[in-house]
């Protein structure tokens, strides 16, 4: 690990345009589990078991809104979560002028909480919620404290999280920004993601830079493409790497 860490530190030192692409594993140390680890729910309306993926689909939100919010509040929103060592290390890299952007599949907002400024949230954020009728803004606390389905104080419409649900497309502007950042990077660090969720995982093909680094506890389909592969806890790796600069 020492030789690998020294190589990582060396790459970070020589890089001036780093982009970080992260997934659910980045937030594990903040006690936010992957929602797919949930057992799903039994839908009273449908009279059948519903998988986590089905429970956070556009269809389920539209036609089983109360049950959607019961699952959403329990498994996708963690108001007590705080940034961990990985979030802090990335914010520090940005302060140093080395990190130019973060592309994340996470919806927890912890990168911004740690101080990162340029964050492309591919799947949205639990911290932004809008009325479907008048588009009034509501924060995560408003949704969590609502009794059942949150409704708008102004017009009574249903409030929907600004989160990309299954069956919904990614935001074009966010994707364009992420592609631009990745394509201009000299170093791309991919961390805490198994790279199985598309279209997000497909963004790697836009990287034309010098160093591709993969940090994930388990193997990924892109391991063979990377210059450096580290199968360790990303919060530990990033903390040690940035401290070594």
pLDDT digits (tens, 9 = 90+) for 67-123: 999 999 999 999 999 999 999 999 999 999 999 999 999 999 999 999 999 999 999
Residues in the chain: 245
Q: Which SS3 state, helix, strand or coil, does residue 162 take? A: strand
pLDDT for residue 37: 74
Reported as a single tens digit per residue, the pLDDT across 208-244 is 999 999 999 989 888 999 999 999 999 999 999 999 9
Instruction: Note the pLDDT of residue 79.
Output: 94
Instruction: Please report the pLDDT score of residue 180 as a whole number.
Output: 97
pTM recorded for the entire structure:
0.93
**Higher local confidence (pLDDT), 199 or 169:** 169
DSSP-assigned letters across all residues of 160-216? EEEE--BT-PPPHHHHHHHHHHHHH-SEEEEES--S-STTGGGGGGG--SSEEEEE-
Domain spans in the chain, listed from the N-terminal domain onward:
2-32+82-123+167-243, 35-75, 128-163
Q: In the annotation, is 123 catalytic?
A: yes
Cα–Cα distance, 54 to 166 (Å, whole number) = 8
Better-predicted residue by pLDDT, 39 or 131: 131
Indicate the fold that domain 2-32+82-123+167-243 takes in CATH: Rossmann fold (3.40.50)
* Per-residue pLDDT tens digits for 149-160: 999 999 999 999
- Per residue in 52-70, pLDDT (tens digit) is 899 999 999 999 999 999 9
Q: What's the DSSP call for residue 101?
A: E
Catalytic residue among 58, 87, 111, 123: 123
> What is the pLDDT at residue 35?
76
Arithmetic mean of pLDDT over the chain? 94
Question: Is 1's pLDDT higher than 70?
Answer: no
Question: For residue 194, what pLDDT band results from cuts at 50, 70 and 90?
Answer: confident
Closest listed residue to residue 221, CA positions, set 197, 194, 189: 194
Q: Kindly calculate the radius of gyration of the chain based on its CA atoms and give it in whole angstroms.
A: 19
């Amino acid at each position: 690990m020492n030789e690998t860490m020294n190589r990582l530190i060396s790459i970070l030192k020589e890089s001036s345009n780093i982009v970080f692409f992260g997934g659910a594993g980045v937030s594990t140390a903040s006690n936010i589990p992957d929602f797919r680890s949930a057992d799903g729910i039994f839908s009273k309306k449908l009279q059948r078991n519903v998988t986590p993926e089905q429970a956070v689909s556009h269809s389920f939100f539209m036609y089983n809104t109360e049950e959607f919010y019961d699952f959403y509040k329990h498994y996708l929103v963690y108001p007590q979560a705080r940034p961990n060592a990985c979030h802090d290390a990335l914010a520090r890299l940005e302060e140093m002028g080395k990190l130019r952007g973060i592309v994340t599949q996470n919806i927890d907002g912890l990168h911004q909480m740690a101080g990162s400024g340029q964050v492309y949230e591919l799947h949205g954020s639990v911290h932004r919620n809008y009325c479907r009728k008048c588009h009034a803004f509501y924060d995560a606390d408003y949704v969590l404290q609502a009794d059942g389905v949150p409704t708008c104080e102004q017009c009574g419409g249903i409030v929907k999280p600004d989160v990309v649900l299954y069956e919904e497309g990614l935001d074009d502007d966010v994707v364009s920004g992420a592609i631009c950042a990745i394509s201009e990077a000299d170093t791309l660090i991919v961390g805490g993601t198994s790279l199985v969720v598309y279209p997000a995982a497909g963004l790697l093909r836009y990287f034309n830079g010098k160093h591709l680094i993969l940090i994930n506890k388990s193997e990924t389909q892109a391991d063979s493409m990377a210059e450096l592969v580290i199968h360790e806890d990303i919060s530990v790796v990033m903390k040690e790497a940035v401290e070594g600069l």
